[in-house]
Amino acid sequence: MLKDLIDRVQLPSESAVELISRAGLPLNYQHSWQEISPFVVGSVLWSLYAFLRTPQDYWEILCTSIAVGGDVDTTAAMACAISGAFLGLEAMPNQLAELLNDQGSCGLGELIKLADNGYQLKVKL
């Protein structure tokens, strides 16, 4: 399935979603959705598709991850997390970054400190 993603990244979203949304499902599986399913394989593949289409453009990654509908809160979270790790916080629009929080318990500043602490632990290993 990951090997197939390399070719599908070149496809427009409308074509790719038809293939990716069925990934990992049995051939005779009946479903009623036209978009990304809530199943793990399709969600992960769509998140990777959104990132790989435009890896240098955080905003486009976000837009691609949600444009097809379906389980887009999950796909956007995964695709944008990959993008953030790849591009850094500076790639995220400021007005969007300022809204980051941990379910209201801490804001952007605290999350940055937490990420820095996690990075420092990795460096020590």
pLDDT digits (tens, 9 = 90+) for 53-110: 999 999 999 999 999 998 899 999 999 999 999 999 999 999 988 998 888 899 999 9
Q: Coil, strand, or helix at residue 38?
A: coil
CB of 90 within 8 A of CB of 55?
Answer: no
pTM: 0.83
Tally of residues, the chain: 125
CB of 80 within 8 A of CB of 61?
Answer: yes
DSSP 34-56: SSB-SSHHHHHHHHHHHHHHSTT
Q: What residue spans define the domains of the chain?
A: 2-92, 93-125
